[in-house]
Amino acid sequence: MTMPDSDGLLAEQLLRLTRRVHRIQKRHMEHRELGITPAQSRLLRTLAHWGSPPRMADLAERLEVVPRAVTTLVDGLEASGKVRRVPDPANRRVIRIELTDDGRGALRELRAARRSAAEEILAPLTEDQREALGGLLDTLIDGTPVQSC
């Protein structure tokens, strides 16, 4: 008798959950009629974590994509007024990307959509289960084993 592939099953469950999270987040974003793609959303969130406007190359590196992909995302976000290109004060040949007030508003809406999606996904869990899941996810994210007491 062979044992089931528990690691394979866990991997499949994680992938299915990830797809479900993306689907639900996308639905919540569409419900808010933001007109922002998931990739644009990721770029806006990344921009929000910078202390000063980054260069396109910095964004590409942080997002782990080619610079051309960032150009396309910025073009769309700039056309909708969410970001703007600004010259670097120290080197006028360098262009930096900054959030506009519209972009900050969109980020607030995106965060609300993500919270709503998370609430929907976590609804079946009790508070204790949520706490346990949070600890397990922290372990997986950090890559460090949990120490038993």
Residue type, 122: L
- DSSP 3-state of 28: helix
Judged against a pLDDT cut of 60, whether residue 140 lies above it is answered with yes
Residue 70, token pair as written in the block: 């960032």
**List of E strands, the chain:** 83-87, 95-99
Query: So what's the pLDDT on residue 145?
Result: 67
CA atoms within 13 A on the CB side of 10: 4
What pTM did the predictor assign?
Answer: 0.75
CA-CA-CA-CA torsion sign (108, 102, 93, 67): positive
**Those residues with Cβ within 8 angstroms of residue 60's Cβ, 6 or more apart along the chain or in another chain:** 66, 67, 69, 70
Percent of all residues in the chain with a pLDDT value above 70, rounded to a whole number: 93
Instruction: Identify the pLDDT of residue 1.
Output: 43
